[in-house]
Structure 1
Amino acid sequence: MSTASCWDEYSLSKFIKTLADVPSPNHFKSIHSSIIKLGFSRFAVVMTGLIGLALKCGALHDADKLFDDMPQKDVVAWTSMIVGHARHGRCEDSISFFRRLLASGTAPNWYSFSGALSACSGLGVEALGYGKQIHVQVLKSSFLGPVDPIVHHGLLDMYSKCHCLVYVQRLFDSMAVKSLVAWNLMMSAYLRCGQAEEALKLFNSMVAHGVKPGDFTYAICVDACAAHASIKQGTQLHASILKSGFDHDLVIRNSMVDMYSKCGCIGSAKAVFEAMPSRDPVLWTTMISAYGRCGCVSDAIEMFEKMIQMNIKRDEVAYLAVLSACSHAGLLSKGWQYFQLMFEEEHTVVAESEHYGCMVDLLCRSGRSEEALDFIEHMPFEANVAIWSTLLHSCRMYGNAKLGQFAASQMSRIDPEFHSNWVLLSSIHAAESEWDTTWKIRESMKDENVKKDPGFSWIELSQ
């Protein structure tokens, strides 16, 4: 780009788009400098392309500045900012740009709506109100022509991630033509809202309508079988996956390992793992979780050690999987070893509340309730209800009423609506034959209308 004679604003815009296919911060800086030198910065089409490149490179601050400096902004420029910020997880900024677009009097296009809906999906329930407002805007715009499928998909995804299943169903049923993406989103919504069986029924309906399943379809359905602990449907799906040629898809394989382990078929989970010619860190982590879930703790530890030996990247989820396995088996020294290893990783691994919770559980299972309390008090953040609950259960097991009282009070302080702590505490005092205290706690529970919820479970019976 040494001279301006070879270029006009349109050819330069096309060239920038090709760079955006393989985004590089160096390319962005170089072409930005050349655009200024050659005098092309006055052309909106060029600057819009440059903004798109900046966003693809993750240079959001540069994109914001370029956009703000544009004297006139068309819908393409606005949409680039809306979509780009949503894609990088800056969902609130994305929605802010959409609001500014409307305030400017510029008419949004379907991609503008899609980007804003994606931002609402990223924020979840807190953005439901604004998501509904966008839906109203879409309905108003639909009078000008048929709504693009990407907007329908965006609405389905937004309502799904806000757990508004009724809205998802209503929207899905209203679609005259349902694409594979729409079917997938509807199944995903059922699964997200705890209706795995409905997701599997919808899969059967989709096949009956002659729609061919894709890789994401199978992944969703296998996850539904895992959530429903349905080994019969899971094995049937496995056969369909093999028949359809999706058996080497990493996402599907990962879901299958998870499904078989949740159905208690660790041998099948291992067979799926070992049949995979290439394995990513996610698949390794899923297999460790599978071993831990099925009580094969030594296998879980062996697999984690293999990850270390083979220098396979271990993230927070991998560490949580192996710490959970150690916790369930009461392997305190091994758990401490892996917990400390987290802080020695070359890449950043952040110990979160779940990791600390595993360590509290390990100490509690070893009967070291006082040490667990000391560990909690020295954590870099305040303990949550789950961690205090672990300590309270330990106090019940080992008969430490005084510490149990303290743990229960901490739980009530954090979440006054959480009542099961008082059920446990009354059991602790009853076990110590402290009947006066037990009676007082149970009277308080009656006054607050606190009841012990009965436990229940279910199993799948072969027919």
Structure 2
Amino acid sequence: MKALIFCSRQILTSKRFGGSAAHKRFNSSKVELFSKEVCEIILDKYPDLKTLNKLHSKIIVNEHLRIDPTLAIKLMRAYSANGETRVARYIFDRTLEKNVVFFNVMIRSYVNNNLYVEALSIYQVMSSCAFYPDHYTFPCVLKACSGLDNLRVGLQVHDAIVKVGLDSNLFIGNALVAMYGKCGRLREARKVLDQMPNRDVVSWNSMVAGYAQSGQFDDALEICKEMDSLKLNHDAGTMASLLPVVKAESSPENVRYVHNMFEKMARKSLVSWNVMIAIYVNNSMPNEAVSLFLQMEECGMKPDAVTIASLLPACGDLSALFLGRRLHKYIEKDNLLPNLLLENALLDMYAKCGCLEEARDVFDKMKLRDVVSWTSMMSAYGKSGQGYDAVALFAKMLDSGLNPDSISFVSVLSACSHAGLLEQGRRYFHIMTEQYRIVPRIEHFACMVDLFGRAGEVEEAYSFIKQMPMEPNERVWGALLSACRVHSKMDIGLIAADCLFQLAPKQSGYYVLLSNIYAKAGMWKDVMNVRNAMKKIGIKKVPGISNVELKGQVHTFLAGDQYHPQAKSIYEELDLLVGKMKELGYIPQTESALHDVEVEDKECHLAIHSEKLAIVFAILNTKHGTPIRITKNLRVCGDCHVAIKLISKIVSRDIIIRDCNRFHHFSNGICSCGDYW
């Protein structure tokens, strides 16, 4: 009791509640400190559960207070705020003389705690007791319908709203738009929105959310543009409404629009930052995602689990290990683990950065692993050429009792392909179809074609394609064409190229592959024909781009890049390295240049490939012995592969390159791929 009186005195003497003057008034009127007014003050502050229980026990033993309806309502609200809906329901049931407020509070208590079925049951009781729902009741009931995707009850509630003449109420209208949107009835949602006599930002945000929840990103943005035309400012709620659809890809124009929308916001919530970062990541704009995160930190905004889970894939895409490790520290500092989503994202980030040991450490420490966890780790081994480790991990997954899914088999088949494990790959394809009864998808067929092609079995790969039960896609024919380039199979290569030009007439990579096949054979006239065809159609070769991270900032290099601030130093150091490489027997593989020009010109062209520039930049700007990590958008050419092996030996550095197909770990003149790629 003393503690309660002390608490009451603290409240009554605070400035917010009138200070000592209020205290004197209570004393002068000789009212007990434990009064209804004191209880209301405490309850309105939503105390913690321990304080609430003590206060409730005092109210119960007071014959006047325990029957007070106002205190009963405030107790229900306070218990609900603490997640104790059962106690709130107990108070509700024990109250004999209820009014509409009791029902509203009980419904809201359930809705706020995501107990939507219970909320609707109270609404039904309310109707049967002849209590008329009001403008406080309906928004909560509609939210319960939204939470359950219960359109049937939602329609009944809408009818009831019209009957009592509350369909013009702003809050009810907003709730109706939200309910119809959540239930996928976007026409009805739009009809309600259009018929509302008054609309606010929430009304439009609800419509945005409806389209977003249906996966219609572009339509959601059209609503945002309508808001612009009405001179309604987008707010944090608008950005939050886009959250369900951030994983969808959109046009560059739409991404720019959302960016502009975000920039114009006066107040940016954490959700707003998360939405913008996720949109960048899912639209293959990792640089922008990382830059925005750094800007977010400068604004003093602390990331949460959603931020980190969104950003880790961007770190992986850029091999931004410095930032990835910093995010890992955030996770540990804030005790966000165990969290399967975050752990899988961490594992994937380390794997994409070529840090197999750290990826495996995350994997081993996971208390719970799903198929995604196992598959990610297998994929990491496979792309690093460690096919035997991938196969061993696949066996462990089976021993753990988890059944592999179709994606698991894609990973293990791909691992066999990258490591040249031809017979193992055949066996796993058989196990997949016969033992696990998984119907092969196009991805599995593509893996098998790649497996045969890399192993030099180009004819078998082509025969395999002809036996496929579905039409081969780009990936299948692309794997075959790539194999034809490596193994100089002109006849089958022409067939593959012809099919690819029909499937993807504007994909530059396939024209380049065919051009490379001709160039490798010295058929320069045919090379020119391909290049002229590309020019006629308006196709440009995708430039080679290499990224390297330095102190959290990603530096990007193009072949022959002259725009980097350190360009002069980079080229000077590169010339010195080439000289040292030649002393070790380096002979530029001029066939990799694939141009009908003089040998000397070819050597110059090869020397300035983007990955070489990125490596030299890293050598100049990091301590001796520091591993160098590069990400490249195209396949590493043969000359660069030879050169980087020698560079790793000359500078005594581990160099990890992730190209569009796999990882290459160069160390002391040797590559992890064993020159099989």
Q: TM-score, length-normalised on structure 2? A: 0.54
Residues in 1 aligned to 2:511 and 2:268: alpha-carbon distance in whole angstroms: 51
Taking the aligned partners of 1:444 and 1:173, their CA distance within structure 2 comes to 43
Matches within 5 A, 1:376-395: 376-395=465-484
| 1:229 to partner: Cα distance | 0.8
Deviation of 1:57 after TM superposition, in Å, equals 5.5
Measured in 2, the distance between the counterparts of 1:244 and 1:207 equals 16
Query: Which residue of structure 1 lines up, in the alignment, with residue 230 of structure 2?
Result: 140
* More divergent stretch after superposition (67-76 vs 159-168): 67-76
CA distance change for structure 1 residues 77 and 435 in 2, over 3 Å: closer, same or farther? closer
CA contact 2:154–2:179 (8 Å) conserved in 1: no
Q: What is the CA deviation profile of residues 223-258 of structure 1, one whole-angstrom value per residue up to 9, with x for unaligned ones?
A: 332222122232233233322222433222222212
Task: Give deviations 1:268-324, integer Å, cap 9, x for gaps.
Answer: 111122122222332222222222222222222222222222222533433322222
> Residues 232 and 43 (structure 1 numbering): CA distance in 2 closer, same or farther, change over 3 Å?
closer
Match of 1:90 in 2: none
What residue is the counterpart of 2:308 in the other structure?
A: 218
**Per-residue deviation, 1:84:** 2.9
Q: Distance in 1 between matches of 2:458 and 2:153?
A: 53
Q: Which residue of 2 aligns with 1:270?
A: 360
Answer whether contact 1:54 1:63 (CA < 8 A) is retained: yes
Matched position secondary structure for 1:277 = coil
Q: Secondary structure at the match of 1:289?
A: helix
Q: Identify, as 1 or 2, the structure richer in strand.
A: 2
Cα distance change, pair 449–83 in 1 and its aligned pair in 2 (3 A): closer
Instruction: Look up the match of 2:182.
Output: 83
The structure-2 alpha-carbon separation of the partners of 1:65 and 1:367, relative to structure 1 and needing over 3 Å to count, comes to farther
More helix by share: 1
SS of equivalent residue, structure 2 residue 230: helix
Change (3 A) 1:393 1:212: closer
Confirm or deny that 1:369 pairs with 2:451.
Answer: no
TM-score normalised by structure 1 residue count: 0.75
Distance 1:431 1:196, change over 3 A: closer
Change (3 A) 1:404 1:190: same
Distance (whole Å) between structure 1 residues aligned to residue 157 and residue 428 of structure 2: 47
Match of 1:166 in 2: 256
CA deviations 1:318-338 (Å, max 9, x no partner) are 332222212212323333443
Residue deviations 1:172-209, cap 9 Å, x none?
Answer: 23222222212222333343444434433433443343
| CA distance, structure 1, for counterparts of residue 282 and residue 525 of structure 2 | 46
Given residue 428 of structure 1, which amino acid in structure 2 is its aligned partner? I
Superposition map of 1:329-340 within 5 A: 329-340=419-430
CA distance in 1, matches of 2:423, 2:109: 55
Structure 1 residue identity aligned to 2:479: T
Match of 2:290 in 1: 200
Question: Aligned residue for 1:415?
Answer: 504
- Equivalent position to 1:325, from 391, 401, 415: 415
**C-alpha distance in 1, partners of 2:519/2:228?**
61
The 1:100–1:246 alpha-carbon spacing in structure 2 relative to 1, beyond 3 Å, is same
CA 1:352–1:129 in structure 2 vs 1: closer, same or farther (change >3 Å)?
same
For residue 266 of structure 1, report the CA deviation from its aligned partner.
0.8
In structure 1, the residue matched to 2:494 is: 405
Quote the offset at 1:82 in angstroms.
0.6
Counterpart-to-counterpart distance in 2, 1:351 and 1:118: 37
User: For 1:388 and 1:440, how far apart are their aligned partners in 2?
Assistant: 21
1:423 to 1:174, Cα distance in 2 relative to 1, 3 A: closer
Q: Secondary structure at the match of 2:493?
A: helix
- Alpha-carbon contact 1:389-1:421 (below 8 Å) kept: yes
Aligned to 1:246: 336
CA distance in 2 between counterparts of 1:445 and 1:418 reads 10
The 3-state SS of whatever aligns with 1:457 is strand
Whether the 8 Å CA contact 1:98–1:112 is kept in 2: the answer is no
Question: Is contact 2:456-2:487 (8 Å) kept?
Answer: yes
Partner of 1:151: 238
More deviation in 175-184 or 49-58?
Answer: 49-58
1:402 Cα deviation (Å)? 2.4
Inter-CA distance 313–364: structure 2 relative to 1 (3 Å threshold): same
Q: Indicate the SS of the match to 1:459.
A: strand
1:294 aligns with 2:389: no
Q: Where does structure 1 lack aligned partners over 5 or more consecutive residues? A: 1-5, 86-92
Q: Alpha-carbon deviation of 1:217?
A: 2.1
Deviations 1:367-390 (A, max 9, x none): 333433343344444322222111
Q: Deviations over 1:1-39 (max 9, x none)?
A: xxxxx9999959967995994689xx99x98xx99xx89
Query: Contact 2:449 / 2:479 at 8 angstroms: preserved in 1?
Result: yes
Q: Which amino acid aligns with 1:97?
A: E
Partner of 2:89: none
Query: In structure 2, what is the equivalent of residue 88 of structure 1?
Result: none
- Structure 2 letter corresponding to 1:397: V
**Residues 1:99 and 2:99 aligned together:** no
Please identify runs of 4+ aligned residues in structure 1 that moved more than 6 A: 6-10, 12-17, 42-55, 63-71, 156-160
Q: What is aligned with 1:116?
A: 207
**Does residue 177 in structure 1 map to residue 267 in structure 2?**
yes
How many pairs are equivalent? 439
Q: Name the CA distance, whole Å, in 1 between partners of 2:350 and 2:408.
A: 19
- After TM superposition, the structure 1 stretch with the greater mean CA deviation from structure 2, 264-273 or 420-429, is 420-429
With over 3 angstroms needed to count, the CA separation of the structure-2 counterparts of 1:97 and 1:402, relative to structure 1, is farther
- C-alpha change, 1:117 and 1:375, in structure 2 (3 Å) is farther
Matches within 5 A, 1:2-151: 21=114, 72=162, 75=173, 76-85=175-184, 93-94=185-186, 96-105=187-196, 113-121=204-212, 127-128=217-218, 131-137=221-227, 140=230, 142=232, 149-151=236-238
Shift of 1:59: 6.9
Tell me by how many angstroms 1:417 deviates.
1.4
Match of 1:89 in 2: none
Change (3 A) 1:227 1:420: closer
Q: 2:513 aligns with which of 400, 415, 424?
A: 424
Conservation of the 8 A alpha-carbon contact between 1:261 and 1:293: no
* Distance in 1, Cα, partners of 2:270 & 2:527: 58
Match for 1:307 among 397, 418, 426?
Answer: 397
Q: Is the 8 A contact 2:382 2:412 kept in 1?
A: yes
Matched, 1:191 2:281: yes
User: Is 1:353 aligned to 2:410, yes or no?
Assistant: no
Q: Distance in 2 between matches of 1:274 and 1:99?
A: 50
Which amino acid is the alignment partner of residue 491 of structure 2?
K
1:3 corresponds to: none
Q: Tell me, what secondary structure is at the counterpart of 1:298?
A: helix
Superposition RMSD in Å: 4.4
CA distance in structure 2 between the aligned counterparts of 1:423 and 1:101, rounded to whole angstroms: 54
- The whole-number CA distance in structure 2 between the counterparts of 1:315 and 1:114 is 39
Residue 79 of structure 1 aligns with an amino acid whose one-letter code is A
Distance 1:191 1:279 in 2: 24
Larger radius of gyration: 2
